[in-house]
Amino acid sequence: MQEFKNQSYVDFSQEENRKRMEDALGEVASHLGEEYELIIGSERLRAPKQFKSFNPSQKGEVVAIHQKADKELARKAIEEALRTFESWRWVKPEERAEYLFQAATLMGKRKLELAAWEVYEVGKSWPEADADVAEAIDFLEFYGREMIRYAQPQPLVRIPTERSELVYIPLGVGIVIPPWNFPLAILVGMTSASIVTGNTVVLKPSSDSPTIGAKFMEILEDVGLPSGVVNFLPGSGAEVGDFLVSHPQTRFISFTGSKAVGLRINELAAKHTPGQIWIKRVVAEMGGKDVIVVEEDADLEEAAQGVIAATYGFQGQKCSACSRVVVSSKIYDRFLDMLVERAKGIKVGPAKDPENYMGPVINMGPVINERALSSISQYIEIGKKEGRLLFGGERVEGNGYFLQPTIIADVDSSSRIAQEEIFGPVLAVLKANDFAQALQIVNGTEYGLTGALYTQDRGKINRAKREFHVGNLYINRKCTGALVGVHPFGGFNMSGTDSKAGGRDYLLLYLQAKAISEKV
C-alpha cells in the first residue's frame, strides 16, 4: 500500500478548473430543493416532520428538505446499529479499511460537486470548500491505514511460560454528532474512525448542513458498505440528541461543536441509565479562543497576512480561527495600521461568486444563519464598549448573512470579547508590554485550541514551545489550516477531551484492548 499523502488542492486560478467548478455549481443548482430521507439499515424513511436547509448567501433559497427524526426513529436507529454491530464487529480490519479507501476514491471523483454543495449549504468560498473535501478524503485514507496498523501484532513483553497477544476490539454503538462548519471533513472523520474500528453508528448531522451528510451516505452506499453500519438520522439536537446520548445501548459519543453542547453531552453521558452495562466514552472537540502573538522582532508583513487569513477565512467560523491578536507594545500602532489596510481589501459577498475570493488577500462569504448574525452583532456591540472599534462592525448589504470584517483594538484580556468564543469575523487586539505578559494573556482563557507566534527570536520560540498552552501551536505561520497526519488536531481545557483528530492515537479512542495469554 502506498504511504499516506495529503490531497492536493484545486488551483482555481486555472481557467479550466474555474470552468469545472462553475459546471459543478450549475449541476448542483439543478438539484436544490430536493427531499432526502432518513436511512436506518436498508430502509429509507420519512419522519412525521421535515425541515429545510438554506443557502446563507441567498436568504430563502432552500438547499434541501430533510426528515426531522423523532425519538421513535432514534430508537429504531440505535436498535439497527446494535443489530449490525453483531456482524460488522467481526469483519476483518483490512476489509473495513478497504471501504474507506474506496469511499476516498469516489469522493475524489465527486470532489468539485461536493465542494459545490458546500458553497450552497454553508457559504464556503470555492477554495475553502475544496479544502474541506480534500480533508475528508485525507481522513478516509489516513484512518484506513491506521486501522491496518492497529490490526498488526502488538509488542508485548514475553515470558517463557505463556504465549500472549493484545488485540484491539471495537466498543459498540456510537453516536456521531458533527458541526456544520467543516460539514464533510469532520463528519467523515468522526464517522470513518468509528466504523473502521468495527463500531456501528447513528450519525446525526448538523441541521445547518444535513445535505452534505446525505451526500456522504450516497458514497457509502455506492461502495457497498453493509447497511446498518451507518444510520443517518437528521433531527433537532436538543430533541433527538439528548435521547441518543442517554440511551443505555449507546457505548460512545463522538462530538464536535460548541462548549455548551459538549458539556451537556458529557454530563448526560456520565449519568448511568437502567440497563446500561458500561461507562460511556465521550470524545468531544469543542470551541476555542484562538490567538496569535506578534512580537516586535517578527516579519510584520507575514504576521499581518497570517492574522488576516486566520481571522477572516470562512468568516471566522473555524474552531481554529484567530479571534485574539496579542501585539507587542513596541509595534502596536504600526501593526494596527497594517491590519486595517488589509481588512479594507477584503470583499464580502455570495460564496458562489468567484470574484469574492479571487482577491489579493482573502475574501468573505456569509455567516451561517440569522442566529449567528445576531449573536456576532451583539458581540460587536459589546466590543464597542470594551474596546475601540477600529474597522468594520456593520452588516453588509445583500440577500445573505453578510458582515464586515471587524477589528476591535485596545481590548483588555479579561473582557468578554477576549474571553468568549464569537465564531465570526471579529478580531480583538490586545497589547503586551513584554513576551511574559503576552504568554499570560494567551493562557488566560478557559480554552486551549490553536495559537501562533510570530517572532525571529529563538529564545521566545523555545519558551512558547513550553508555555503556550494550546493543542496546536504554530510558529511563524497562521493558526488555521491543519493537515491530516501533519498537524494532529485538537485542543486542551474547554476545547475538548484532548483528542487529536488526524493523529496516530486517534483510533484508540474508538477501540478497547484485549490481552490474551495462553499457557504453553
**Catalytic annotation, residues:** 285, 319
The answer to whether the beta carbons of residues 311 and 467 sit under 8 Å apart is: no
Q: Contact between 509 and ligand NAD (CB under 6 A)?
A: no
Site for ligand NAD in 407-446 (CB under 6 A): 421, 423
Site for ligand NAD in 109-138 (CB under 6 A): none
How many residues belong to the site for ligand NAD (CB under 6 A)?
33
For the bound state, the minimum distance from the C-beta of residue 7 to ligand NAD, rounded and expressed in Å, comes to 19
Q: Contact between 287 and ligand NAD (CB under 6 A)?
A: yes
For the bound state, the minimum distance from the C-beta of residue 368 to ligand NAD, rounded and expressed in Å, comes to 7
Q: Contact between 181 and ligand NAD (CB under 6 A)?
A: yes
Of 213, 23, 173, the residue nearest 86 (C-alpha): 173
Q: Contact between 211 and ligand NAD (CB under 6 A)?
A: no
Lookup result for grid cell 461502495:
223
Q: Contact between 228 and ligand NAD (CB under 6 A)?
A: no
For the bound state, the minimum distance from the C-beta of residue 401 to ligand NAD, rounded and expressed in Å, comes to 14
Judged by beta carbon, residue 288 or residue 400, the one nearer ligand NAD is 288
Q: How far is it, in rounded angstroms, from Cα 42 to Cα 29?
A: 28
Q: Contact between 241 and ligand NAD (CB under 6 A)?
A: yes
For the bound state, the minimum distance from the C-beta of residue 99 to ligand NAD, rounded and expressed in Å, comes to 24
Q: Contact between 193 and ligand NAD (CB under 6 A)?
A: no
Q: Contact between 319 and ligand NAD (CB under 6 A)?
A: yes
Lookup result for grid cell 457559504:
123
Q: Contact between 495 and ligand NAD (CB under 6 A)?
A: yes
For the bound state, the minimum distance from the C-beta of residue 334 to ligand NAD, rounded and expressed in Å, comes to 31
Tell me the window of 155-163, 282-290, 393-401, 460-468 that interacts with ligand NAD (CB under 6 A): 282-290
Question: Which helix or strand (DSSP H or E) is residue 310 part of?
Answer: helix 300-312
Residue 441 CB neighbour total at 10 angstroms? 20
Site for ligand NAD in 439-468 (CB under 6 A): 449
Site for ligand NAD in 248-267 (CB under 6 A): 256-258, 261, 264-265
What is the b/e burial string over 409-431, where b = at least 16 CB atoms within 10 angstroms of the residue's CB? bebebebebbbbbbbbbbbbbbb
Report the sign of the C-alpha dihedral through residues 252, 98, 489, 17, in that order: negative
Q: Contact between 242 and ligand NAD (CB under 6 A)?
A: yes
Of 127, 179, 208, 123, the residue nearest 421 (C-alpha): 179
Judged by beta carbon, residue 447 or residue 468, the one nearer ligand NAD is 447
Report the sign of the C-alpha dihedral through residues 444, 448, 449, 453, in that order: positive
Helix, strand, coil percentages for the chain (3-state, nearest 5): 40, 20, 40
Lookup result for grid cell 468539485:
112
Q: Contact between 197 and ligand NAD (CB under 6 A)?
A: no
Q: How far is it, in rounded angstroms, from Cα 79 to Cα 503?
A: 31
- Sequence-ordered strand ranges (E) for 36-152: 38-40, 43-45, 49-54, 62-68
For the bound state, the minimum distance from the C-beta of residue 375 to ligand NAD, rounded and expressed in Å, comes to 10
For the bound state, the minimum distance from the C-beta of residue 26 to ligand NAD, rounded and expressed in Å, comes to 29
Judged by beta carbon, residue 265 or residue 310, the one nearer ligand NAD is 265
Q: Contact between 316 and ligand NAD (CB under 6 A)?
A: no
Length of the chain counted residue by residue:
520
Rounded to a whole number of angstroms, the CA Rg of the chain reads 23
The answer to whether the beta carbons of residues 206 and 58 sit under 8 Å apart is: no
The answer to whether the beta carbons of residues 198 and 151 sit under 8 Å apart is: no
Q: Contact between 288 and ligand NAD (CB under 6 A)?
A: yes
Tell me the window of 23-31, 125-133, 203-211, 382-390 that interacts with ligand NAD (CB under 6 A): 203-211
By the criterion CB under 6 A, which residues form the site for ligand NAD?
177-182, 186, 204, 206-207, 237-238, 241-242, 245, 256-258, 261, 264-265, 285-288, 319, 421, 423, 449, 490-491, 495-496
